């Protein structure tokens, strides 16, 4: 079918995946933001701690991709996390212009408090969705990220 025939009215808003995904993630992120405020955290700080708990010493630019955060916003978040002793930044020994970020033990400890909230929010999103359907959904998401990403991570 060509673009003219396949209009938004024919498809319907609730069959247009980007609409649904923006609605779902808008709601999910707003709920997450409220929960984080109760823990004294912001979304960029929480995402940075989450990624650093599983990715070993990424470059700042890589961390910006993983956390889906503008570099300037991420840098401010990293300043605060470092001041609180939760992460540290160091120059890459092989490239003096490259800065790598690592999580401290205190950062891991804080993330351990945060993680159950993230897991519970994900479980609410998937409520009453069977395991097989959830796996298929994840597999499609992984293909979509490969289709759309600009970076090799």
Footprint on this chain of a copy of itself (rule: CB under 8 A): 3, 6-9, 12-29, 31, 50-51, 53-55, 66, 68, 115-116, 118-122, 124-129, 133-134, 136-138, 140-145, 147-150
Nearer of residues 78 and 114 to a copy of itself, judged by Cβ: 114
Nearer of residues 19 and 42 to a copy of itself, judged by Cβ: 19
Sequence-distant (≥ 6) Cβ neighbours of residue 69 within 8 angstroms: 43, 44, 47, 48, 77
Q: At its nearest, how many Å lie between a copy of itself and the CB of residue 20?
A: 4
Q: At its nearest, how many Å lie between a copy of itself and the CB of residue 44?
A: 12
Nearer of residues 70 and 92 to a copy of itself, judged by Cβ: 70
């Amino acid at each position: 079918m060509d673009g003219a025939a396949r209009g938004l009215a024919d498809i319907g808003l609730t069959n247009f995946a980007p609409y649904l995904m923006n609605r779902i993630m808008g709601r999910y992120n707003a709920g997450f933001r409220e929960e984080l405020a109760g823990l004294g955290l912001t979304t960029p700080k929480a995402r940075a701690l989450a990624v650093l708990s599983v990715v070993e010493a990424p470059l700042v630019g890589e961390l910006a991709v993983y956390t889906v955060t503008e570099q300037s916003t991420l840098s401010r978040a990293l300043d605060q996390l470092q001041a609180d002793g939760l992460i540290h930044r160091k120059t890459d020994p092989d490239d003096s212009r490259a800065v790598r970020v690592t999580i401290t033990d205190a950062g891991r400890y804080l993330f351990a408090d945060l993680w159950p909230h993230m897991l519970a929010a994900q479980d609410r999103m998937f409520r009453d969705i069977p395991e097989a359907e959830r796996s298929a959904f994840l597999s499609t998401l992984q293909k979509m990220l490969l289709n759309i990403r600009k970076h090799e991570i």
